[in-house]
Structure 1
Amino acid sequence: MSEFWIDQLTVEKVVLTGLRADSAVLEGGVDLFVDEAPWARLFPLAHAHAVQEVGGVLSIDIQLPYRLGEGFDRPRLRLVMAATGEPIGHSASRPLPRKRKARALVLIPAGHRYDHDKVRMHDWPVSQIIDTYSNIGDLMVYDSTLKLLDFDEIEVANIVDFNDHDVDRYNTEFDFAFLRGSNFIHEYMDWARAGDLIERLDIPVFAIGVGAQAETRRPINLPPEGQRVWAAIADKCGSIGVRGIYSAEVLAHNGIKNVEVVGCPSLFRRRDRNLTLDLKHQADIRRIAFSLRRETGGNYCRDLETYLGLQRAFMLRLDQESQMTVTLHGEREEKAYFFRDRDRELQARETLFEEDWFQESTIFQMEDIYRTRMFFNTTVAQYDDFIVTQDFAIGYRVHGILPALANGIPAMLVDYDERSAELAQTLNIPLIPESELKNASWRDFYKREAWSRFAASFTEKYDTMRKYLTKNGVPHRL
């Protein structure tokens, strides 16, 4: 593979990227093939005005020698080094349209899309909503990704039992595919046949704000199918957008190097570059949203018993010190209380006692919270509507905190795993070490200056996401 790669391929131009130190390989030119027929020899270095350099990395805009059509019948393009015949990598072969709205494939959606760019839970009976663990954070990040993208229509790609006809249709009727920004980089991900499908796509595949999941900052050795998927995505785009440095390190450890740190789409869901937080005086804080995460596992927290004990004790103190609302993000037992399903509530009560979450010494306060001070949303829009009624948000759920900030509500995240730490570091979100929750009040953390770095850097972070999307040719609305 060539030392240079394609960041963007559209019907108008191709953008090559590579190191200044390797630029000699371009002196012999680049051969352009159209539907496998040789078409033109291009000389990227011949036009100095088209060459930009930042930190020793060149970005070269090459206008195509003729204007391609915008239709779904537009030809496949391929570029190779003229001197050696080596392919120039990191690009699908069918260029993106520029003047019409694109049609997109989503590889792994969450919930049900409606009204173009909104997401809600599936239209299930309440009993099924309670019994099915559905991570509201997945709905939030899918909804947020849709709000960043500019598209005409979206279809869910079949990654399980697709056939040759499906692949042909995807390649002829769609312009790009994408993966929402969730925790897809870990050892336990079930990709079904996604790797096979991505390898056979002739359209770009974008991953926007994806992240690694681990309880600590440790190496992750992806299994063969995981490596296959990420290698396939890396070869279908200029660069993979990850949430932070740790996720980039994990992909690099597994051989994927074309990666950029962009944060998470959920922080930019309002598409407001001039976001400001409503930082009230501490004495004026009354309504506080606490995002609960009782459900967890070994790759989500460092010490389960300590994690649950500190969380429960802090929630009880927060309830005593404020008008607290507990936001629910998927746990079955809490949903049984929220929906007032008597039979399931009795089962939930028994389970919560068995797991030592409910304790006799605090049961009256806990059940009062569970019956009167919980919030659960079946649409992402409901969370937006709710969170703007609050003065402050604090807790364990990344997607309780990020959308609060996106809506101008000051929010703090508890540091309980590498994902929370990574996002806080990338986006300058105030992060509370888990150990500091012991015997603490929310007032110990709420200081208006705690958000100084977040406020000072938000525009830069917004621009980073926008530039990443633009650079890779992703149709977007930022």
Structure 2
Amino acid sequence: MNIFLLGATPSISSEIGEDPISKLAKTGGNTGNQLIAHGLLSQIEYDYISWDHRVDPREVHERFDMIVIAAANFLFPRFDFGAMAEYIEGADLPVSIVGLGAQSNSYDPNISLLPGTERFVKVIAERAAQIGVRGPYTAEVLARRGVQNVTVTGCPSYYMSGSKGIVLKQQPFDEIKHVAVNASRDVIVHSFDKDRMRRLVQDIYRAGIEWNGDFVAQSEEVEIRLADFQSKTTVYEPLEELTTFLKDVASEDDVRSWAAEHVRVYFDVNDWLESIQEYDFVFGNRFHGCMVALQRGVPSVVICHDTRTEDMCRFLALPCISIVDIERIDVRNLYDLVDRAAFTNRYRDLYPKYAEFLATNNLRMRKPGS
């Protein structure tokens, strides 16, 4: 089968010395997007794949058998997917879409979408056997639009360990030494409670500093510039933004000395997966920043800030807590939330159902070890 991929892509091409923000743009503005496509493609067989979106849709129709969409929080009031809808219509092929999510700061399913995104919903509903969505809330958002061919799958990044499943490392909290944190300052206004979210994001950074832990950036431009080795001489002015944001929780000297040594960014999924294994514990409000750790057996807790994270975490039984249920970041308390048995058992339950979902969409599961 020849597949044409839309949405997230599993990798980017970059030039030596390319500006890190240019590389970030190629990921769709979030390095975690690559984990979505990587997870999806790791579990399906195909003969040929392309995500060269310069190809005319009529040529896609002639050369490919199916359009596969590695989706994210597409159903958001400010996102316009009209261009993707038009492209799909022009290619006129069957569609398989996985990981479609609705993003809101409440669970009211009557969210408004731009006309282009409404058109996108109609197009995929007509062309997909089953639409794979992130959680029950997204399914309800689609149901209000009359779309019933929906299966709740969670994110395809969850399934990248295949049929062998995931076993999380066990060690007493007193042995936890090396932690990684993640957080995003640009989602505060979209959260369940923006004031509480701001305080908790600041507290995540504080915990990272106090634990001498690493911060893994995904979309935060200041942090990404700092993490990228070739740009270290140009980060002093942007760092003012970070020190100002953290002025109530850490001294400027502490922020600067910590950030100079402990901020990371990964533009290659395999590098990310390999590096994350060195940590004992990972936490933060980034779903994929925590998912990549879980995939390598590292205990991790997602601090859920809106429907796009909480809806999915609850469905997948990921260790998590909502911002409305937490006042401050206590690393021991977060670590105690990790229910290894619940996580492992949920994966064992969901993976066969995911395989069935892919088969319904005429996608073949990759054979173990292939």
Q: TM-score, normalised by structure 2?
A: 0.89
The answer to whether residue 196 in structure 2 is matched with residue 306 in structure 1 is yes
C-alpha contact (below 8 Å) 1:179/1:207 kept by paired residues = yes
Q: CA deviation at 1:347?
A: 2.1
Cα 1:277–1:445 change in 2 (3 A) is same
Bigger-Rg structure (1/2): 1
Q: 1:141 aligns with which of 36, 56, 61?
A: 36
Instruction: Please name the residue that 1:249 is paired with.
Output: 140
Instruction: Please name the residue that 1:283 is paired with.
Output: 174
C-alpha contact (below 8 Å) 1:328/1:376 kept by paired residues = yes
C-alpha contact (below 8 Å) 1:310/1:438 kept by paired residues = yes
Instruction: Please name the residue that 1:419 is paired with.
Output: 308
Instruction: Please name the residue that 2:21 is paired with.
Output: 129
Residues 358-367 or 251-260, more deviating:
358-367
SS of the residue corresponding to residue 104 of structure 1 reads strand
Q: CA deviation at 1:128?
A: 4.7
Bigger relative contact order (CA 8 A; separation at least 6): 2
RMSD (CA atoms): 2.4
SS of the residue corresponding to residue 470 of structure 1 reads helix
TM alignment of 1:344-355, pairs within 5 A: 344-353=234-243
Q: CA deviation at 1:232?
A: 1.2
- Cα distance in 1 between the residues matched to 2:79 and 2:129: 24
Output one character per residue of 1:133-152: Cα deviation in whole Å (capped at 9) or x when no partner.
53011111122222122112
Q: CA deviation at 1:275?
A: 2.1
The answer to whether residue 69 in structure 2 is matched with residue 179 in structure 1 is yes
Cα 1:450–1:120 change in 2 (3 A) is same
One-letter identity of the residue aligned with 2:241: T
Where does the alignment leave 5 or more consecutive residues of structure 2 unmatched? none
One-letter identity of the residue aligned with 1:210: L
Cα 1:191–1:343 change in 2 (3 A) is same
One-letter identity of the residue aligned with 2:35: M
SS of the residue corresponding to residue 188 of structure 1 reads coil
One-letter identity of the residue aligned with 2:14: H
Output one character per residue of 1:278-316: Cα deviation in whole Å (capped at 9) or x when no partner.
1222222111111121222533x1333431222222432
C-alpha contact (below 8 Å) 2:168/2:297 kept by paired residues = yes
Instruction: Please name the residue that 1:108 is paired with.
Output: 7
- Cα distance in 2 between the residues matched to 1:446 and 1:390: 13
TM alignment of 1:54-453, pairs within 5 A: 102-110=1-9, 119-120=11-12, 122-123=14-15, 125-129=17-21, 134-156=29-51, 158=53, 166-218=56-108, 219-296=110-187, 298-299=189-190, 301-320=191-210, 322-339=211-228, 341=231, 344-353=234-243, 356-359=245-248, 362-435=251-324, 437-447=326-336, 450-453=339-342
Cα 1:225–1:463 change in 2 (3 A) is same
One-letter identity of the residue aligned with 1:198: I
Q: CA deviation at 1:462?
A: 1.2
Q: How many residues get paired?
A: 362
Identity fraction in percent:
22
Q: CA deviation at 1:459?
A: 0.6
- Cα distance in 2 between the residues matched to 1:454 and 1:312: 28
Question: Which is helix-richer, 1 or 2?
Answer: 2
Question: Which is strand-richer, 1 or 2?
Answer: 1
- Cα distance in 1 between the residues matched to 2:167 and 2:61: 42
- Cα distance in 2 between the residues matched to 1:277 and 1:343: 39
Where does the alignment leave 5 or more consecutive residues of structure 1 unmatched? 1-101, 111-117
C-alpha contact (below 8 Å) 1:307/1:416 kept by paired residues = yes
- Cα distance in 1 between the residues matched to 2:310 and 2:194: 17
One-letter identity of the residue aligned with 2:236: L
One-letter identity of the residue aligned with 2:349: E
- Cα distance in 1 between the residues matched to 2:80 and 2:66: 22
One-letter identity of the residue aligned with 1:327: V
Instruction: Please name the residue that 2:351 is paired with.
Output: 462
- Cα distance in 2 between the residues matched to 1:308 and 1:184: 24
Cα 1:262–1:308 change in 2 (3 A) is same
Q: CA deviation at 1:206?
A: 0.8
Residues 282-291 or 381-390, more deviating:
282-291
- Cα distance in 2 between the residues matched to 1:346 and 1:261: 45
Q: CA deviation at 1:196?
A: 2.5
C-alpha contact (below 8 Å) 1:183/1:211 kept by paired residues = yes
Q: CA deviation at 1:359?
A: 4.9
Output one character per residue of 1:421-444: Cα deviation in whole Å (capped at 9) or x when no partner.
111111001212325543442111
- Cα distance in 2 between the residues matched to 1:124 and 1:186: 35
SS of the residue corresponding to residue 364 of structure 2 reads coil
Cα 1:345–1:360 change in 2 (3 A) is farther
C-alpha contact (below 8 Å) 1:404/1:410 kept by paired residues = yes
Q: Runs of 4+ in structure 1 displaced over 6 angstroms?
A: none
- Cα distance in 1 between the residues matched to 2:311 and 2:249: 37
Output one character per residue of 1:78-99: Cα deviation in whole Å (capped at 9) or x when no partner.
xxxxxxxxxxxxxxxxxxxxxx
